[in-house]
Amino acid sequence: MKTMLKIEKPIHKIADKISSKEMDAILRIQSCALKAIHDFMYSREILQLMPVMLSTITDPLCHSVYDAKIKYMEQELMLTKSMILHKQMALMSDSRKAIYIISPNIRLEKEECKDSGRHLIEFSQVDFEFKDVKKEFIKDFMEDLFISVISRVKEDCKKELEALGRDLVIPTKPFARISTKDAIRLGEEFETILSEKATEPFWLLDHEREFYDKEHEEKSKVYLNYDLVYPEGFGEALSGGEREHEHEKIIERMIRSGTKPEHYTEYLELAKHGKLPKTAGGGFGVERLLRFLTGKKDIADVCLFAKKPGMKVLI
């Protein structure tokens, strides 16, 4: 990897940010939002798991990033980009119906997205997965979760929101649903255009991501996927979908997307023996949620130790 890393701020400016009153307010809102998420998950009997951070496999992602690998003795291990495949495997037990993880992810993003305001090379997502449910169930679940988080923050963090000049609106269910097949008429930047116009969160549906996406039974190239998008230009909040679990279909999809099956030997072995359950789920970034809740333009402003693409890591 060529090193052309820039220094965003001198270390004393970073120290000012870390110790600021504004950061106190932001962290209090983060704490409140996480508590609301845990309470909601507990009330729905969703089991919390601990994160997987190293494995032989991880999410290949549908956009290109630098690989993050470490060598442990004779083995190369990947740092987790998302726990999607492990979430599916964690539901192999008959009695386990739903799980979630506050999952740290490493995605060594290309420099191009350094000014997006919403990319970090290290972040955490709230990653959840259910067995034997369809996409409508997940959307309904997520809408309830999102409304409960906003309501709690509005109620418990009045002082902090006021200090940040943020007025949060509690959205109404059901959120609007838009097929990406229709949205694409607005051009490549359809997500940004729609997000900037929107005053409430909405769903973008049907697009392709990776070999783990389930394809519509009758409509080819329509996938049972959903992205939740924040209003006011804050962009993508969550991505998720119903998952493919049948060996032959996974292989077919890997071949279609140029993914090498030999990199996923044990995972595919489980699929071949019919061990992979039928699941659906999604994940939303904690820092992106906090950026939305606090109304900050730059995601780095809501993190104590932000690591932005293309920037030198100082501490």
The 56-85 site mask, x for binding ligand ASN (CB under 6 A), equals: ---x-x--------------------x-x-
Q: What are the residues whose beta carbons fall under 8 Å from the beta carbon of 189, sequence distance 6 or more?
A: none
Of 107 and 166, nearer to ligand ASN (C-beta) is: 107
Of 30 and 239, nearer to ligand ASN (C-beta) is: 239
The distance of closest approach from Cβ of residue 88 to ligand ASN in the complex, given in angstroms and rounded to an integer, is 9
Q: What are the residues whose beta carbons fall under 8 Å from the beta carbon of 166, sequence distance 6 or more?
A: 293, 294, 295
The distance of closest approach from Cβ of residue 241 to ligand ASN in the complex, given in angstroms and rounded to an integer, is 6
The distance of closest approach from Cβ of residue 91 to ligand ASN in the complex, given in angstroms and rounded to an integer, is 12
The 121-150 site mask, x for binding ligand ASN (CB under 6 A), equals: ----x-x-----------------------
CA 267 remoteness from chain centre: 22
Of 117 and 240, nearer to ligand ASN (C-beta) is: 240
Picking from 219, 267, 269, 214, the residue whose alpha carbon sits closest to that of residue 243 is: 214
**CA-to-CA dists, residue 295 to 49, 89, 191, 204, angstroms:** 30, 36, 18, 22
Of 240 and 309, nearer to ligand ASN (C-beta) is: 240
Task: Determine, following the binding rule CB under 6 A, whether residue 201 of this chain makes contact with ligand ASN.
Answer: no
Query: Which residues 237-256 are close enough to bind ligand ASN by CB under 6 A?
Result: 239-241
Buried (b) or exposed (e) across 52-78, using 16+ Cβ within 10 A? beeeebbbbeeeebeebeeeeeeeebb
The distance of closest approach from Cβ of residue 127 to ligand ASN in the complex, given in angstroms and rounded to an integer, is 5
Among the listed ranges 65-73, 88-96, 139-147, 278-286, the one in contact with ligand ASN (CB under 6 A) is: 278-286
d(CA 138, CA 239): 11
Of 166 and 245, nearer to ligand ASN (C-beta) is: 245
What are 89's two structure tokens?
Answer: 């495997």
Contact 244, 257 (CB under 8 A): no
d(CA 99, CA 48): 6
The distance of closest approach from Cβ of residue 281 to ligand ASN in the complex, given in angstroms and rounded to an integer, is 5
Task: Determine, following the binding rule CB under 6 A, whether residue 311 of this chain makes contact with ligand ASN.
Answer: no
Q: What is the radius of gyration, based on Cα positions, of the chain?
A: 20
The footprint of ligand ASN (CB under 6 A) covers 59, 61, 82, 84, 125, 127, 239-241, 281-283
